[in-house]
Amino acid sequence: MPISRRTLIATLAASSAASLLPRAAWAAYPDRPIRLIVPFAAGGNADIVGRLVGERISHALGQPVVIDNRGGAGGGIGAEAVARAAADGYTLLVGSNGPLTVNPFVQAKLGYDPLKDFAPVALTSYVPHVIILNNKVEAKTLAELIALSKKEQLSIATSGVGSATHMTLERFKAATGANVVHIPYRSGGQLMPDLIGGTIQAAMTEFSTALPQHKGGQAPIVAIAALQRSKLAGDIPTFIESGVKDFTAASYIGILAPTGTPPAIIAQLQQAIAGGLGPGPTASKLREMGSEIATPAQMTPEGFAAFIRIDYDRMRVAAKLAGIEPK
Of the residues 224, 259, 290, the one at which a domain ends: 224
Written as one string, the DSSP assignment of 37-92 is EESS-TTSHHHHHHHHHHHHHHHHHTS-EEEEE---GGGHHHHHHHHTS-SSSSEE
**Tell me: the pLDDT tens digits for 269-309?**
999 999 999 999 999 999 998 999 999 999 999 999 999 99
CATH number of the domain encompassing residue 308: 3.40.190.150
Instruction: Name the band, by pLDDT with cuts 50, 70 and 90, for residue 73.
Output: confident
Q: Model pTM greater than 0.75?
A: yes
Quote the crossing angle between the two packed helices 281-288 and 45-61, to the nearest 10°. 180
Q: Is 240 within a domain? A: no
Examine the domain organization and report whether 136 and 220 are in the same domain.
yes
- Eight-class DSSP state of 23: G
Determine the Cα–Cα distance for residues 86 and 181; give it in Å rounded to an integer.
45
Q: Is 263 within a domain? A: yes
Give CA angle at 283 (64, 54), nearest 5°. Answer: 15
Q: Is 80 within a domain? A: yes
CATH number of the domain encompassing residue 196: 3.40.190.10
Examine the domain organization and report whether 90 and 109 are in the same domain.
yes
Examine the domain organization and report whether 207 and 64 are in the same domain.
no
Q: State the amino acid at position 284 in one-letter form.
A: S
Using a pLDDT cut of 90, give the percent of the chain over it: 78
Greatest pairwise CA separation for the chain in angstroms: 99
Q: Is 306 within a domain? A: yes
For 91-201, strand residue ranges (E) read: 91-96, 118-133, 154-158, 180-184
Of the residues 189, 208, 224, the one at which a domain ends: 224
Domain that holds residue 278: 33-126+251-322
Q: Is 236 within a domain? A: no
**Tell me: the pLDDT tens digits for 163-194?**
889 999 999 999 999 999 999 987 777 899 99
Q: Is 20 within a domain? A: no
Examine the domain organization and report whether 157 and 290 are in the same domain.
no
**Cβ contacts of 139-143, under 8 Å, gap ≥ 24:** 139/222, 140/220, 140/222, 141/222, 141/237, 141/242, 142/222, 142/223, 142/237, 142/239, 142/242, 142/243, 142/244, 143/242, 143/243
Examine the domain organization and report whether 95 and 79 are in the same domain.
yes
Examine the domain organization and report whether 118 and 171 are in the same domain.
no
- Asked if pLDDT for residue 14 goes beyond 60, the answer is no
Q: Is 239 within a domain? A: no
**Alpha-carbon distance values, 48 to 43, 67, 144, 182, 219 (Å):** 6, 10, 36, 28, 25
- Asked if pLDDT for residue 64 goes beyond 60, the answer is yes
Structurally, the chain folds into a number of domains equal to: 2
Examine the domain organization and report whether 215 and 258 are in the same domain.
no
Examine the domain organization and report whether 140 and 214 are in the same domain.
yes
Examine the domain organization and report whether 106 and 181 are in the same domain.
no
Q: Is 237 within a domain? A: no
194 phi, psi to nearest 5 deg: -70, -35
**Tell me: the pLDDT tens digits for 106-161?**
898 899 999 999 999 999 999 999 999 999 999 999 999 999 999 999 999 998 88
| Spatial CA neighbour of 298 closest among 88, 85, 126 | 126
Examine the domain organization and report whether 157 and 184 are in the same domain.
yes
List 91's β-bridge partners, or say none.
35
